[in-house]
């Protein structure tokens, strides 16, 4: 077996792992939302305290991050769905071009989270949020969900890897690393 053939298999394996992670994130997001909307009936509950700083609290998010760009009409919902779908498609294309497993895993978290929220927006017209982190009355975030957390962690992984893998001074002219992890 040639080195190129082995490398091709590795890259395919990395991408399959990443798409599997995206699918798992999507499934967990869907499962938790189904549990909270079904048997737990969070929709008809004010809040369920889990920890002194964390409650489950149902809310409908008609916008995107931090509730910005709220879609208040069917046309705006369709436009927001199209934009978020285009972003998810861009992430898929990036995943198909990316080789490094660490970057692929960051992208997988973003894709899985995006698909979870896109599903909600397509089916309901809004995203179900339920995770309420608070310290007394102070909330460092708006109410969020697992999909939002996955997107955030995915972006943080991509940023950290980007900052930590920059070319070192004096490395100019050296071939790029063929790192696969």
Could you give the CA distance from residue 64 to residue 146 in angstroms, rounded to a whole number? 14
pLDDT at 2: 47
pLDDT at 139: 87
Q: Encode 87-115: b = buried (16+ Cβ within 10 Å), e = exposed.
A: ebeebbeebeebebbbbbbbbbbbbbbbb
The reply to whether 100 falls in a domain is yes
The reply to whether 72 falls in a domain is yes
The reply to whether 115 falls in a domain is yes
pLDDT at 181: 53
pLDDT at 87: 94
State the catalytic residue, choosing from 103, 120, 129, 132: 129
The reply to whether 156 falls in a domain is yes
**How many separate domains does the chain show?**
1
Could you give the CA distance from residue 146 to residue 35 in angstroms, rounded to a whole number? 13
The reply to whether 179 falls in a domain is no
127 neighbors 145 (Cβ within 8 angstroms): yes
Q: Element (H or E) spanning 171, and its range?
A: none
Catalytic residue list contains 148 = yes
Which residue segment(s) compose the domain that 45 sits in?
A: 3-164
Per-residue pLDDT 10s for the chain (181 aa) are: 444 455 566 668 999 999 999 999 999 999 999 999 999 999 999 899 999 999 999 999 987 765 566 777 788 888 889 999 999 999 999 999 998 999 999 999 999 999 999 999 999 999 999 999 999 888 888 899 999 999 999 999 999 998 987 655 554 444 444 455 5
48 neighbors 170 (Cβ within 8 angstroms): no
Phi, psi of 107 (to 5 degrees): -65, -35
The reply to whether 174 falls in a domain is no
Catalytic residue list contains 129 = yes
């Amino acid at each position: 077996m040639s080195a190129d053939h082995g490398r091709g298999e590795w890259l395919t394996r990395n991408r399959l792992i990443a798409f599997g992670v995206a699918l798992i994130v999507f499934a967990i997001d869907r499962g938790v939302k189904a549990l909270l909307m079904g048997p737990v009936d969070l929709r008809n509950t004010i809040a369920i305290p889990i920890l002194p700083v964390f409650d489950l609290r149902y809310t409908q998010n008609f916008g995107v991050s931090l509730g910005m760009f709220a879609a208040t009409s069917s046309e705006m919902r369709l436009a927001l769905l199209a934009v978020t779908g285009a972003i998810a498609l861009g992430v898929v294309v990036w995943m198909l071009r990316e080789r490094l497993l660490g970057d692929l895993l960051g992208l997988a978290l973003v894709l899985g989270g995006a698909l979870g929220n896109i599903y909600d927006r397509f089916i309901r017209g809004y995203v179900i949020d339920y995770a309420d982190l608070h310290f007394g009355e102070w909330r460092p975030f708006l109410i969020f969900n697992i999909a939002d957390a996955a997107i955030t962690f995915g972006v943080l992984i991509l940023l950290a890897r980007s900052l930590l893998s920059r070319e070192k001074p004096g490395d100019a002219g050296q071939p790029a690393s063929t790192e696969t992890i």
